Amino acid sequence: MKLVVAPGVTHWPGYLDASAQSELVAALREIARAAPFFVPRMPGTGKPFSVRMTNCGALGWVSDERGYRYQPAHPQTGQPWPAMPPILMQAWRELSGYPHPPEACLVNFYEASARMGLHQDRDEQDFEAPVLSLSLGDTALFRIGGTQRGGRTVSLKLASGDALSFGGAARLAYHGIDRILAGSSALLPQGGRLNLTLRRVTPPPQLP
């Protein structure tokens, strides 16, 4: 089932079935072994985020005192990010509607008290591709609005296995996580929520 939440915002409840969710959790365990979760910090102030992050793919999104950016290596280990597992490439092919592969997958881990304030995803050089999100574990209350701060927003629940994309007119929509519904899923033994966002960062290669 596919739900159009707003122009450019599409929700696929239960896109990943139980076995695909377990497969993805196993892949993320491997990724986190090679690229441990780190605590991002706000540019300028250095205030820690309440979510922990890691990445896979050629580029990873990081945030610290120096700003937000994509970089090819983990900020602590200095190692390249692990490859994107095939199940993520498949989700991108099936749902993104974009002909070139994703370059970055940001993995956010939310414990029960974590939140993410309303923000735009705008550190990419190219906004032609949508941002594609996959959720695992506890359900989150997700909020998305328009491209201006302070406009009307809609809230929806993102449950384990759900996919959501925002692109086109909604590519620069403000969005965030108001709260996590602790105990709503048994997928992750310690509870909490994993969210993966797949992004295209650079413009596609030009034909000669």
| Residue with smallest beta-carbon separation from ligand SIN | 195
Residue 162 contact partner, candidates ligand SIN, Fe ion, none, CB within 5 to 8 A by sort of partner: none
We find the least distance from the C-beta atom of residue 92 to ligand SIN, in angstroms, to be: 16
What distance, in Å, lies between the first and last C-alpha atoms of the chain?
A: 40
Q: Is 38 in the site for ligand SIN (CB under 6 A)?
A: no
State which of positions 104-143 bind ligand SIN (CB under 6 A). Answer: 106, 108, 116, 133, 140, 142
Instruction: Choose among 131, 154, 140, 119: nearest CA to 194.
Output: 140
Are 103 and 200 contacting, i.e. CB atoms less than 8 angstroms apart? yes
The nearest distance, CB 10 to ligand SIN, in angstroms, is: 14
Least distance from C-beta 204 to ligand SIN, angstroms? 23
* 81 makes contact with ligand SIN (CB under 6 A): no
* Min separation Cβ 152 and ligand SIN, Å: 19
Query: What own/partner pairs with CB < 8 Å and gap ≥ 24 does 37-46 have?
Result: 37/107, 37/109, 38/62, 38/74, 38/75, 38/76, 40/64, 41/65, 43/67, 43/68
Among 77, 133, 138, 140, CA closest to 105: 133
| Helical (H) or strand (E) element with 32 | helix 18-34
CB 206 to ligand SIN: min, Å? 29
Distance CA 193, CA 183 (A): 10
Sites of contact with Fe ion (CB under 5 A): 121
Residue nearest to Fe ion (CB): 121
Q: Indicate which single residue of 102, 137, 197, 200 sits in contact with ligand SIN (rule: CB under 6 A).
A: 197
| Of 177, 180, 187, 198, the one binding ligand SIN by CB under 6 A | 177
Closest separation in Å from C-beta 161 to ligand SIN = 13
> Using an 8 Å Cβ cutoff, are 160 and 139 in contact?
yes
199, 208, 207: which is closest to 96 by C-alpha?
Answer: 199
Nearer to ligand SIN, 149 or 208 (CB): 149
Identify whether the C-beta of residue 174 lies closer than 8 Å to the C-beta of residue 147. Answer: yes
Task: Report the interface residues with ligand SIN, using CB under 6 A.
Answer: 106, 108, 116, 133, 140, 142, 158, 175, 177, 195, 197
